Amino acid sequence: MALGTSGGRTRERRDPQATRRALLAAGAALFSEGGYDAVPIEDVAARAGVNKALISYHFGGKRGLYAAILASGFEQIARRLDAAEASAKDAPAALRALLAVFAAFRTEHPEFPGLFMREVLSSGIEPSVVPHLLSIIDVSRRIAARGAREGTLRSVNPLLMHFGLIGALVFFSSTEPARRRAAAERRLPFAMPELPEFLRYLEGLTLRGLAPDRRGPRRRPRTATRTRAVRRKERAR
pLDDT along the chain (237 residues), means of 10: 40 75 93 87 94 94 93 94 96 96 91 85 84 95 96 95 93 90 89 92 94 67 53 61
Which residues of the chain form CATH 1.10.357.10? 69-209
User: If 0-12 CB within 10 Å is exposed, 13-18 middle and 19+ buried, where does residue 136 land?
Assistant: buried
The pLDDT value recorded for residue 116 is 85
Class of domain 6-60: mainly alpha
State the Cα–Cα distance between residues 168 and 162, nearest whole angstrom: 10
State the Cα–Cα distance between residues 147 and 211, nearest whole angstrom: 9
The pLDDT value recorded for residue 220 is 53
The pLDDT value recorded for residue 126 is 84
Which DSSP category does 193 fall into?
P
CA distances from 218 to 4, 152, 213 (A): 78, 21, 12
The pLDDT value recorded for residue 119 is 80
124: phi then psi, degrees, rounded to nearest 5? 85, -165
The helix/strand count (H/E) of the chain reads as: 12, 0
Q: What is the pTM of this model?
A: 0.77
Which residues of the chain form CATH 1.10.10.60? 6-60
Q: What is the CATH number of domain 69-209?
A: 1.10.357.10
The pLDDT value recorded for residue 217 is 52
